[in-house]
Structure 1
Amino acid sequence: MAKNVLAVDDSASIRQMLTFTLKSAGYDVVEAVDGLDGLEKARAHDVHLVLTDQNMPRMDGLTLIRSLREMPQYASTPILMLTTESSEAMKSQGRAAGATGWLVKPFDPQKLIEVVRKVIG
């Protein structure tokens, strides 16, 4: 059975690239347009990995991560930040919020697949 990945990004083109890349590698993808939508989709689906942007309307990535970590079913689910933010301060905030890893946009599709396989198989 394919593993579900929740892709949370306010950019339709990024979501489209994520979905295409992940589906071609055999994963199912649930898309969300921002953190609030991501939280709703996480409640509605059984998700094995969350990929989230940081800068989004309504709810940013760090707030989404903190909210997911409060939910028992997402306490240990891998969550990767996929963002243009690359400062050490931001990465430190991400780790403190519960992020499993950090990928910088623009992403290399092959590298993304390697990271996803490493964290969820």
Structure 2
Amino acid sequence: MKTKIKIIILLFLITFLFGCDLCDNKIITESTNNNIKAVLFERGCGETTATSYQVSLLKNGKRFTDNITGNVFRATGIKDVSIEWEDEGLLIITFSVFASPKIFLEEEQLKINGRVMNINYKSDVEKTIE
């Protein structure tokens, strides 16, 4: 009997610790360019944290999940975010400010699928990475 209780408690703890992701991603738009996918999404992690806009570059065909965070761009306090491929190796991320912006990640290059992708930004905010 004690063994069954221990197993039930262990299964509960494993489910609680590894099965509950408090964050969720909401895809705003995706854009594919030569086997590389740019994903613009909102990431929310509960009521005590601000929702952020994030951008990830992924190999085309890679499944986008809630545990993915932006590998190119992450920020709060912005609006009107958009992504656009200017050419085969250049992604443009555009945004405006509506509150105190916090830019947590703003990569200018990312190597993916053996290729270097360049990222440029257009915004009405000065660069203040936190």
TM-score by length of 1: 0.28
Structure with greater helix percent: 1
TM-score by length of 2: 0.27
Structure with the bigger RCO (C-alpha within 8 Å, sep 6+) is: 1
Structure with greater strand percent: 2
